[in-house]
Structure 1
Amino acid sequence: MAQIISVHSFRGGTGKSNLIANIASTMTLQGQRVGIIDTDIQSPGIHVIFGFDENKMTYTLNDYLWGRCHIQDVAYDVTHSLIAEQKHPTTVKGSLYLVPSSIKAGEISRVLREGYDVVRLNDGFQELIRTLKLDYLLIDTHPGLNEETLLSIGISNILIIILRPDNQDFQGTAVTVDVARKLKVPKMLMVINKALPALDFADLQEQVEKIYNVPVAGILPLSEEMVQLASIGIFSLRYSGHPISQAIKGIAEQITSLVVSR
């Protein structure tokens, strides 16, 4: 059974898109068929990480939501980008598909002005899983809570909440966890990002798990290499031995060990 995984943060700038791209890439290298859908329609950008030129986007998620095309027309095979990213290229056993959102100002303005049919969005998720025979569909959500985000969370088998060790993130995350429990999400995992390397990670994990009663799947240290990469490329493929890459591999393993019914 395909697993729908929403990755969410209460505030922007937490590294959500980078986390999704790296988890999805890791799963694909392990032989899974994976889809990513960028539902952060107001501020899209995950396509940049895969080096996908927006001029090559014949269709975007916006086109599907407004009835201009089928959802499978918006799914671009980006598996080849994983081969290019590796220092020592190997055969990629799985497949990775990306459904980007439009970065055109007029399209974004229309979403802000008119919204879109969230039921059609949900139908698109299911059709994408069926037509591409996906094992996992990862949803890049819009930060905060709105109707579209609530839908994504509500239909998820697994919700990954990413936060920084920051008091504002801690408060907002508490709201997200409460909402997810009310929506009866089967499984929640926490990922802590941009943690100072000097921190005691075991103590930090214990504190966060105690606060939210949700397991921490991984802690990603603040890294100069990640900052220098500037969201152009898949970090875990370029720096396979880095602590961040090892943490991401561990997170992916925890996800693939879960088979959660909805």
Structure 2
Amino acid sequence: MSEACSSCSSAGTCTTDSCSNEPKMTEAQKVNHIHKVIAVMSGKGGVGKSSVTSMLAISLKRQGYKVGILDADITGPSIPKIFGVKGKANGSEAGLIAPKSRSGIKVMSLNLLLENEDDPVIWRGPMIAQLVNQFWKDVIWGDLDYLLIDLPPGTGDVPITVFQSLPVNGTIVVTSPQALANMVVRKAVKMAQKYEPPIYGLIENMAYVQCPDCNKRIEIFGKPKGQTEAQRNSIPYLGELPIDPVLAALSDDGKLEDYQSSAFDQIAEHLAEEIKKNSAMN
């Protein structure tokens, strides 16, 4: 996380008035205790990154962890819709209060601040990056084992802001079997490797669909390449996920927490193992 302040030797972000090297903590940050911050990124859109982020959060929650999701996809926020979290986020003197999903996952998204959820966000990069920073500094997350950050696709302003300004502990990369997606995912991997946090692993989404009549595995986008791509980039492979119409329908209805998936649970377990490995090494 943050290094000790060189002027006053305090650990983390300095809160003393006499220190000029470190910004003061906000009131929200003073009450937040977040153990691990994990950025979920993809090289391109359309790979189901938000669905993967949401199901990872659900699987971790089922394992007994306290989990939150920071929706950093400012111009295309979807996390509140997936969880059925409606209405505006409330505030207090300390900051914005992150609403909870039915199972207790804390969520913060720009859509929880808009008058109408389908209002467009027509902002330039610096404003978007500033809001992401505010979601970190001014939201009351409380005690969390994991805060997952759902990044927008690509390697633009928001991922740069997150890696440079937030205490990210590690990254997850989401891809799909198309050759184009794997070419672009290497850009995301190379970007993440430029910063200090380790890459916890790669998840290949939309790897196949299961025929409902014969149970045959149909690889719509071609042979999955996730494991090969992970090896090529020298990062762990967390697993593959199918296309599932049930997941899509529950997401549309805001009831994703009703979805059951052993594949997601296994990936969440692999993720927890990778985090433990990295923690032991550091």
Normalising by structure 2, we get a TM-score of 0.70
Deviation for aligned residue 1:152: 2.2
Give SS of 1:6's match. strand
Q: Are 1:27 and 2:57 matched, yes or no?
A: no
Tell me the C-alpha RMSD between the 2 structures: 3.0
Taking the TM superposition and a 5 Å limit, the aligned residue runs for 1:32-71 are: 32-53=65-86, 56-58=87-89
Structure of greater relative contact order (alpha carbons < 8 Å, 6+ residues apart): 1
Aligned twin of 1:108: 121
Pick the aligned partner of 1:218 from 224, 234, 239.
239
Q: Are 1:140 and 2:165 matched, yes or no?
A: no
- Looking at structure 2, the residues matched to 71 and 212 of structure 1 have their Cα atoms a distance apart, in angstroms, of 42
- Looking at structure 2, the residues matched to 208 and 170 of structure 1 have their Cα atoms a distance apart, in angstroms, of 7
- Looking at structure 2, the residues matched to 203 and 99 of structure 1 have their Cα atoms a distance apart, in angstroms, of 33
In the alignment, residue 240 of structure 2 is paired with which amino acid?
I
Aligned twin of 1:3: 36
Give SS of 2:124's match. helix
Worse overlay, 18-27 or 133-142 = 18-27
Instruction: Give yes or no for contact 2:204–2:240 (8 Å, CA) kept in 1.
Output: yes
Aligned twin of 2:193: 181
| Larger-gyration structure (1/2) | 2
Normalising by structure 1, we get a TM-score of 0.75
- Looking at structure 2, the residues matched to 77 and 230 of structure 1 have their Cα atoms a distance apart, in angstroms, of 16
Give SS of 1:135's match. strand
In the alignment, residue 37 of structure 2 is paired with which amino acid?
I
Q: Deviations over 1:55-114 (max 9, x none)?
A: x1145xxxxxxxx97784240022xx23xxxxxxxxxxxx421112135576712x3376
Q: Are 1:164 and 2:187 matched, yes or no?
A: no
Q: Deviations over 1:183-221 (max 9, x none)?
A: 13223310001112345x997444222322222101001
- Looking at structure 2, the residues matched to 46 and 205 of structure 1 have their Cα atoms a distance apart, in angstroms, of 25
Change (3 A) 1:51 1:230: closer
- Looking at structure 2, the residues matched to 112 and 69 of structure 1 have their Cα atoms a distance apart, in angstroms, of 28
Q: Are 1:256 and 2:276 matched, yes or no?
A: no
Aligned twin of 2:136: 125
Higher helix share: 1
Change (3 A) 1:21 1:15: same
- Looking at structure 2, the residues matched to 214 and 234 of structure 1 have their Cα atoms a distance apart, in angstroms, of 32
Aligned twin of 2:212: none
Q: Deviations over 1:148-192 (max 9, x none)?
A: 212324542121111110111111111111111111322331000
- Looking at structure 2, the residues matched to 58 and 224 of structure 1 have their Cα atoms a distance apart, in angstroms, of 30
Aligned twin of 1:152: 162
Is there any run of 5+ residues in structure 1 with no aligned partner, and where?
60-67, 83-94
Between the aligned residues of both structures, percent identity stands at 24
Pick the aligned partner of 2:100 from 54, 67, 77.
77
In the alignment, residue 161 of structure 1 is paired with which amino acid?
V
Taking the TM superposition and a 5 Å limit, the aligned residue runs for 1:184-199 are: 184-196=196-208, 197-199=217-219
